[in-house]
Amino acid sequence: MGRIIGIDLGTTNSVAAYWVRKRAKVIENDVTRSYILPSAVTVNEFGQRVVGQDAKDRLGSGSTNVIYSIKRFMGMDFDDPNSKKALENIGYRVRASENGEVEVLLHDKYYSPIEISAMILQQLKSDAELQLGEAVTHAVITVPAYFGQRQKDATREAGKLAGLHVARIINEPTAAALAFGIESHDEEPKFVLVYDFGGGTLDVVVMKVNKDGIEVKAVSGNTNLGKKI
The rounded distance, in Å, linking the Cα atoms of 32 and 54 is 9
Contact 67, 52 (CB under 8 A): no
- Catalytic one among 71, 125, 152, 157? 71
How many Cβ atoms sit within 10 Å of the Cβ of residue 182? Answer: 16
Q: Is 108 a catalytic residue?
A: no
Cα 136–Cα 43–Cα 94 angle in degrees, nearest 5: 100
* Burial environment of residue 164 by CB neighbours within 10 A (0 to 12, 13 to 18, 19 or more): buried
Which stretches within the chain are classed as H helix? 53-57, 81-87, 113-132, 149-161, 172-179
Torsion angle, CA of 127/133/137/142, rounded to 10 degrees? -40
CA–CA separation, 206 and 208 (whole Å): 7
Distance CA 71, CA 73 (A): 5
Helix (H, G, I), strand (E, B) or coil at 67: strand
Q: Which of 8, 101, 129, 203 is catalytic?
A: 8
Q: Per the residue annotation, which of 103, 157, 172, 203 is the catalytic one?
A: 172
One of 54, 80, 153, 196 is an active-site residue; which one?
196
Catalytic, 8? Answer yes
| Residue 71 annotated as catalytic | yes
Please give the positions annotated as active site: 8, 71, 172, 196
